[in-house]
Structure 1
């Protein structure tokens, strides 16, 4: 018999503004302890150096974490040109410095344009991507370098927002698809310019529909807990369907709800030809459905507890 998990059956999404110097999992565990949650998960790792939007899912909300993981992201990154580091960021030792620096702002803007659109990107060795079940960063720490297959990612927009050629530091804002490594962009940009480069600061501005203005830091959550208690902290949790608010919404009659909850596809009015939908019993979010090959609404991911809807 499996070991029973300890904790409370609490569901919801907490939007954390991650601080620098901690891993995404450390941040998750700290917030999980505050809520005393039995089940929790984050929606895509941020580097220890990075800050910003890190949605944390608790309880039933972990069922929608994959959709946040698959969502587009936006970042603001500071890049030091003229230096290459072992890790691609300022946490690693400098392995090469270029003293002859004759790069102009025009050169940088031109180089950045090469990253727009769908590109092939090789994941960095210092990443959580696994090879044979082992995270690449663990191999990298042992001095082991393995072949990594380039992966297609989409750079929707990349802009130069600050350029200081004296300090050799620039700032860019990137809107991109899932799986994009901003450190790789910094390294590849440095390679294109012939001077090397690495990340000195990185902030996630947006994950899916969630923006940095929606987030709270761990210390802000602790202050709320101290002033208002656990019930006050729980008011900071967003409902599960907030993560998939971009899916079309469909309200189902009582009989259809009963069939859906028992795993059966049902006929429904005004269904799209394809795609995922948010399903509701009156105003209660009950799960995610999809249109099957027969044109019926079928269950894909169902909730086991009641959630207040977003709209």
Structure 2
């Protein structure tokens, strides 16, 4: 049976965003292929970048805030000796410097200064806003706005490859990290300047990102009526939260917005909730009432739908 436009689709797709497409363009393409009523992505990638772009369909959009805060991993190449207006190869050249006589030890010494908690000044070519205007729009008008440094954390920074005028790095970092800025700053620390010539997001926590789906993969699954094979359950985005099973009555109360008293709960503010059939029903917040009794309040409840018919 053909799928009707505007299906109730719930789940998470780990899309391998292709080179040259914006994140929104890639999102709209797969939304069309799924004929889904609602879809959104978590953490955009520039058109220059490829790799993991989680797409949340339907009820999965309720876990988006938790994914935006997640650590992410990248592989990137910094082209040394050339700085650009955008910090990547799509920008106009600002300055060229000769790259001479550096070795792996020089690179390692510089990388060591960027590991851990650091400050970054966000780039002008970014979606951050100033007085309601995205910075990149102001940058295109030749306007430069002073930006405050932001605290980010570089958990891992590893040299993968080195040529006479480039370095390739693996990076695992906290939310809010700009890899373009990191590449530029490392280039300056080496004394040559740099811009980002390649960027691929390789991992988004807490997913297992070994299996990604390209747009071509999704097109093939759509042709064979097997789109559901590409979707992960919503609760895979919340595996770092402890879980709790509820009785039928407790489930009913929480779905109606009523707190329930519950002993022997996990030691966590936020908890994954499952009903008596072990079906994921949402996220609860744990607290204590005036009598010092533990209670669970609904935080984000799910109302999932049946899978697409073939």
**Aligned-pair Cα RMSD in Å:** 1.6
Quote the Cα distance in structure 1 between the aligned partners of 2:9 and 2:69.
Answer: 24
Quote the Cα distance in structure 1 between the aligned partners of 2:111 and 2:284.
Answer: 40
Q: Name the counterpart of 2:198.
A: 201
Shift of 1:130: 1.9
Query: For 1:196-251, what per-residue CA distance to the aligned partner results, in whole angstroms no more than 9, with x for missing partners?
Result: 0111100001011224422110011112222x12xx01221111111112211100
Quote the Cα distance in structure 2 between the aligned partners of 1:15 and 1:22.
Answer: 16
Query: For 1:111-160, what per-residue CA distance to the aligned partner results, in whole angstroms no more than 9, with x for missing partners?
Result: 11111111111111111222222221111111111111111111111010
Counterpart contact for 1:284–1:306, Cα < 8 Å: no
Q: Which runs of 5+ in 2 are unaligned?
A: none
Q: Name the counterpart of 2:174.
A: 177
Number of positions where the alignment pairs a residue of Structure 1 with one of Structure 2 = 298
Quote the Cα distance in structure 1 between the aligned partners of 2:305 and 2:29.
Answer: 26
Shift of 1:263: 1.1
Q: Name the counterpart of 2:91.
A: 92
Does the alignment pair 1:248 with 2:242?
Answer: yes
Quote the Cα distance in structure 2 between the aligned partners of 1:125 and 1:93.
Answer: 14
Does the alignment pair 1:210 with 2:207?
Answer: yes
Counterpart contact for 1:19–1:51, Cα < 8 Å: yes
Counterpart contact for 1:205–1:211, Cα < 8 Å: no
Normalising by structure 1, we get a TM-score of 0.92
Shift of 1:306: 5.1
Shift of 1:274: 3.3
Shift of 1:106: 1.2
Classify the secondary structure of the residue corresponding to 2:230: coil
Q: Name the counterpart of 2:228.
A: 234
Counterpart contact for 1:77–1:173, Cα < 8 Å: yes
Q: Name the counterpart of 2:285.
A: 290
Q: Which runs of 5+ in 1 are unaligned?
A: 1-5
Shift of 1:82: 1.0
Q: Name the counterpart of 2:142.
A: 143
Quote the Cα distance in structure 1 between the aligned partners of 2:261 and 2:32.
Answer: 43
Does the alignment pair 1:224 with 2:216?
Answer: no
How is 1:1-311 mapped onto 2 (pairs within 5 angstroms)?
7-99=6-98, 101-165=100-164, 168-226=165-223, 228-229=224-225, 232-282=226-276, 283-294=278-289, 295-305=294-304
Quote the Cα distance in structure 2 between the aligned partners of 1:120 and 1:102.
Answer: 28
Counterpart contact for 2:10–2:305, Cα < 8 Å: no
Quote the Cα distance in structure 1 between the aligned partners of 2:99 and 2:209.
Answer: 38
Classify the secondary structure of the residue corresponding to 1:214: coil
Q: 1:211 to 1:80 in 2, by over 3 A?
A: farther
Quote the Cα distance in structure 1 between the aligned partners of 2:200 and 2:99.
Answer: 30
Counterpart contact for 1:122–1:151, Cα < 8 Å: yes
Classify the secondary structure of the residue corresponding to 2:260: coil
